[in-house]
Amino acid sequence: MLQTLQTACGKRTEHGDDAQFRTTHWSVVLLAGGDQTAESAASLEKLCRTYWYPLYAFVRRQGYDPHEAQDLTQEFFCRFIESQALRSADPAKGKFRSFLIGALKNFLANEWDRTTRLKRGGGREIFSWDGLTPEERYLFEPAESTTPERQFDQQWARTLVAEALAKLRGECGLQGTDRRFEVLKVFLSGEPGGISYAEAARQLELSESAAKSAVHRLRQRYAELFRAEVAHTVNGPVEVEAEIRHLFTALSS
């Protein structure tokens, strides 16, 4: 999937970047740092639900057990949403992922008294752990000697890739081409051992050339959606390419 996405992202599309910056993660944070509204709180909670796993995995790598890591991650997000520190958030000081991991590190360094810690399932919840199976995911992580920060970047990149793929699946569903997506998505991975174009064409009752064209369009749209996801996490169009290169490096290391 990495090689396919790198190749597709390397081919710039004609779509402008400006539209991708009308509502970025930073703009959501800055809005929440002002006078909070129901809309800004809901947007911030959606960000938390999107990026919970990279932060959970980072907390686990600090030596906390699964229940402690869940408590800490949940409490961090609650405080993140409610914190007055958002008023001082400055996009010029870094990328959104850097801001988020920095905030988590500060939170862990100033961890609240264990005697007053919210018990799992008590107090306010940003999301329910039920069904998320965070520890099952974590146990599949490779045992690497890299730093928790580098592993965080890897998980961040994987999250953006997964978000782009989910949006592509959703678009295909709205267009009534979800069956085509399910058959052709194997070609997005770039992994050997998938079905052939001839077999995909047979399943979809298309010519082989039509199947290849459909795969090409899927790859291009996948790259556009991934680029848009990255654009939401940086402060301007000029930062997108550098961030994409950084994330691809993290994924390939």
Q: CA-CA distance, 60 to 103, in Å (whole number)?
A: 16
> pLDDT tens-digit profile of 116-161?
454 444 455 655 555 556 666 666 566 565 788 988 999 999 999 9
In terms of average pLDDT, the best of 24-28, 239-243, 249-253 is: 239-243
Q: H helices within 84-143, ranges in order? A: 96-109, 134-139
> pLDDT tens-digit profile of 38-81?
776 777 777 778 888 899 999 999 889 888 888 888 888 888 77
Both tokens assigned to 27: 């703009």
Residue 30 φ then ψ, to 5°: -65, -35
Q: What is the pLDDT of residue 80?
A: 75
Number of domains in the chain: 1
CA distances to 175, 204, 221 from 208, rounded to whole Å, are 22, 10, 20
Contact between 217 and 10 under an 8 Å Cβ cutoff? The reply is no
Mean residue pLDDT across the chain: 79
Q: CA-CA distance, 145 to 50, in Å (whole number)?
A: 26
> pLDDT tens-digit profile of 212-228?
999 999 999 999 999 99
pLDDT band at residue 98 using 50, 70 and 90 as cut-offs: confident
> pLDDT tens-digit profile of 181-219?
999 999 997 665 678 999 999 999 999 999 999 999 999
Q: 32 exposed, middle or buried (CB, 10 Å; 0-12, 13-18, 19+)?
A: buried
| DSSP at 112 | P
The pTM of the full predicted model, rounded to 2 decimals, is 0.77
Single-letter residue type at 145: S
Where in the sequence is the domain holding 34, given as residue range(s)? 2-252
DSSP assignments along 164-204, one per residue: HHHHHHHHHHHHT-HHHHHHHTHHHH--TT---HHHHHHHH
Calculate the CA dihedral of residues 186, 188, 190, 192 and round it to 10 degrees. Answer: 0
CA distances to 61, 186, 239, 248 from 182, rounded to whole Å, are 35, 8, 33, 25
pLDDT band at residue 14 using 50, 70 and 90 as cut-offs: very low
Q: What is the pLDDT of residue 223?
A: 94
